[in-house]
Amino acid sequence: MTRDVVGQGRWHALEHLRWIDGDADVWSMLQDHAALSAIVTALADLAGRDRPDCIVGIESRGFVLAPAVAVALGIGFVAVRKDGAMFPGSLISRRTEVDYRGQQRTLSMRRDHLQPGARLVLVDDWVETGSQALVVAELAKEGGAEVVSVVTIVDEASDTARHRLPPIHSLVTGADLP
């Protein structure tokens, strides 16, 4: 794949991003087949550069994007559930710091889905405070794996968050948003 793939994903993300009542509507990006395909292909290109063993995704938009990226790369998907959602098996859980909406969440990963030494890439739609990404990295470490990067459509992480997180690769930054 080439950097042009990332450029196409970026173009589609910006073209299809909508604001509804002050909130970003990422779901509209995913409704259009060409945009969804371009965005997933671009995210897979960015994620693949770090040679992951698995892709990690946080519910809910991470459950849409991350498995698609995993399939594109020919690797597996590791789920992260929120706030006590049904998730059978031995879990590793942690509470996040306050997010951009002033909320805290409890995130959980299945212990048996983390392989010692595995390289993981977290794929999500948006990084702002980084509170969820930071917890995912901590959970992975506790399970013997490592989150080597965060791949996202939009990166609005503050300098404080960025210094605490693995490298962030995105299609769009906050400065690019309409």
Mean predicted confidence (pLDDT) in 101-113? 90
Q: Which pLDDT band holds residue 3 (cuts at 50, 70, 90)?
A: low
Cβ 131 vs Cβ 97: under 8 Å? yes
Q: What is the pLDDT of residues 120-176, one digit of tens each?
A: 999 999 998 899 999 999 999 999 999 999 999 999 998 888 999 999 999 999 999
Percent of all residues in the chain with a pLDDT value above 70, rounded to a whole number: 98
Q: What is the pTM of this model?
A: 0.93
CATH topology of domain 51-176: Rossmann fold (3.40.50)
Cβ 108 vs Cβ 80: under 8 Å? yes
Helix (H) or strand (E) holding 158: none
Question: Could you write out the DSSP letters of every residue in 60-120?
Answer: THHHHHHHHHHHHHT-EEEEEEETT----S-EEEEE----TTS---EEEEEGGG--TT-EE
Q: Where are the domains of the chain?
A: 51-176
